[in-house]
Amino acid sequence: MAEPTIYELSSPGRIGIRFPESDVPQQQFPENFMRKELPLPELSELDVVRHFTHLSRLNYSIDEGFYPLGSCTMKYNPRINEVTARLPGFSNSHPLQPLESIQGNLAVMYLLQEWLKELTGFHSVSLQPAAGAQGELVGGLIMRAYHKYRKDDKRTKILVPDSAHGTNPATSSMAGFEPVNLPSDKRGNIDLEQLKALCDETTAGLMLTNPNTLGLFEENVLEVIKIVHNAGGLVYGDGANLNALLGVTKPGALGFDILHINLHKTFSTPHGGGGPGSGPVAVAEHLASFLPDPLIGILEEGNEELPPLYGFIKPEQSIGRVKAFHGHFGVIVRALTYVLMNGAEGLRDVAKYAVLNANYLMEILKNAYTLPYDRTCKHEFVLEGVWEELPDIHALDVAKRLMDYGIHPPTNYFPLIVKEALMIEPTETESKQTLDEFARVMLQIAKEAHDNPELLHEAPHHTPVGRLDEVKAARDLVLCCWRPEAN
């Protein structure tokens, strides 16, 4: 039964909130700043509580069930992160406070910079970028600044593997370069011959995701980096998949020049609903002076009685600011909490269990789905959501049918080099029971696809809304569903 929406419940004069008496003098705003009317639904507090509670129940989240959304690292977000992020000293601070009064905040940022340097093997880290994609843009701008500084001005191209996330070519081009498509070989590695052929004095660099979006470790990574370096280019690492490497290997030690880290993925902050992310950028020593400003540094060393004095440092050739103030501080607090709660050994276990869980699932599911790159995977793997004998079944059908079983679908139709891709990343926080249940459901769906394909075509059956017309939804956007009745 369709209940009336909050909009239909609106009733003139109904009030949901009582404002306290004003304790400041009333101000007169300029006439032309004031709206004559502000037509909003008029509701009681109870109506509003029910509305938002109802909406929250339509949502699906990692707190509710398994969320194997490949490349997004939807791990459990420990509640203690929320406790530390809400400590009043952090949550009530203001970025314009004098340095002496925000030493604790700066210590948190400094400590996280140090941990990220240690975990990635780089010389310096900037915590400024707002998310991975902005980190990529920063990486591109650093490449640009570096080549310009060396008066090496013919470098106009960035090589981007065909398995890359869409943000890689987009940010390369935003940074003023021409992205050049680099094919993968049959094992899912970069094709070395093609790489050699494409590298020349116009190559500004390569953007490499390792493990790549097939979940595969680039087997020739050292050779790849050498080829690009020999041509005078830089190698940018898209670190979205760092979860697979934590404490096991360091991109800096492999020879990468730049790397972004998605704190909200690897270091646990709720993400996926467009909430704040954080994409720190780490660089090798020869690029440290180009980082966005400011970095957090120690201005005066501490001693037995006094803690160090932390402050802001501007790198000499800095590409400038990329974000208001100091980045997304709340995410930085959560990431440091996560790091400290795990410790060095715990972080290594994160990587090991993420890889173990993915391989466990892959070995079961490859019996019922095509696994185009059949190699030991890292934290994720990619199946085909299609069967030769069933031309009418698509990855989208499998994804929608999973929703009937209360499971969030994997990433689908990405990476582009796998047809009808289903990209599955279980993460380390799921138990064997959950993985077994997911495997059982996936095998069941493969069977349904053969026995009763209509079940898949019409899915989802049990969700608040059924199969959407995605083209119509994009073309014919409805962003506002309530307007006041015309008087």
Ligand X SMILES: *Cc1c(COP(=O)(O)O)cnc(C)c1O
Residue closer to ligand X (CB basis): 238 or 428: 238
Min dist CB 38 to ligand X, Å, is 35
Q: By CB under 6 A, is residue 250 in contact with ligand X?
A: no
* Omega cis (within 30) before 464: no
Q: By CB under 6 A, is residue 184 in contact with ligand X?
A: no
Binding to ligand X (CB under 6 A) within 97-136 occurs at 131-133
Min dist CB 236 to ligand X, Å, is 11
Q: By CB under 6 A, is residue 269 in contact with ligand X?
A: no
Residue closer to ligand X (CB basis): 355 or 449: 355
Q: By CB under 6 A, is residue 430 in contact with ligand X?
A: no
Q: By CB under 6 A, is residue 240 in contact with ligand X?
A: yes
Cite the beta strand spans of 183-342 per DSSP E.
203-209, 234-238, 258-260, 281-283, 295-300, 309-313
Q: By CB under 6 A, is residue 354 in contact with ligand X?
A: no
User: Residue of minimal CB distance from ligand X?
Assistant: 132
In which residue are the tokens 């079940």 written? 455
Min dist CB 467 to ligand X, Å, is 26
CB within 8 Å of 45: residues ≥ 6 apart: 16, 17
Residue closer to ligand X (CB basis): 139 or 311: 139
Tell me which of 209, 243, 427, 429 binds ligand X, using CB under 6 A: 209
CB within 8 Å of 462: residues ≥ 6 apart: 403, 404
Long-range CB contacts (within 8 A, 24+) of 473-481 = 481/5, 481/7
Tell me which of 47, 191, 218, 238 binds ligand X, using CB under 6 A: 238
Q: By CB under 6 A, is residue 163 in contact with ligand X?
A: no
Binding to ligand X (CB under 6 A) within 286-315 occurs at none
Min dist CB 69 to ligand X, Å, is 10
Tell me which of 105, 128, 213, 427 binds ligand X, using CB under 6 A: 213
Q: By CB under 6 A, is residue 214 in contact with ligand X?
A: no
**Please, which residues bridge with residue 424 across strands?**
69, 381
In which residue are the tokens 């180009």 written? 290
Long-range CB contacts (within 8 A, 24+) of 186-189 = 187/216, 187/219, 187/373, 187/375, 188/163, 188/212, 188/214, 188/216, 188/373, 188/375, 189/216, 189/218, 189/219, 189/220
CA pair distance 70, 414, nearest whole angstrom: 9
Up-side HSE of residue 149: CA atoms within 13 Å toward CB?
A: 14
Query: CB–CB of 364/381 below 8 Å?
Result: no
**Please, which residues bridge with residue 296 across strands?**
312
Tell me which of 144, 155, 157, 165 binds ligand X, using CB under 6 A: 165
Residue closer to ligand X (CB basis): 397 or 425: 425
**Interface ranges with ligand X (CB under 6 A):** 71, 131-133, 165, 167, 209, 213, 238, 240, 262, 277, 279
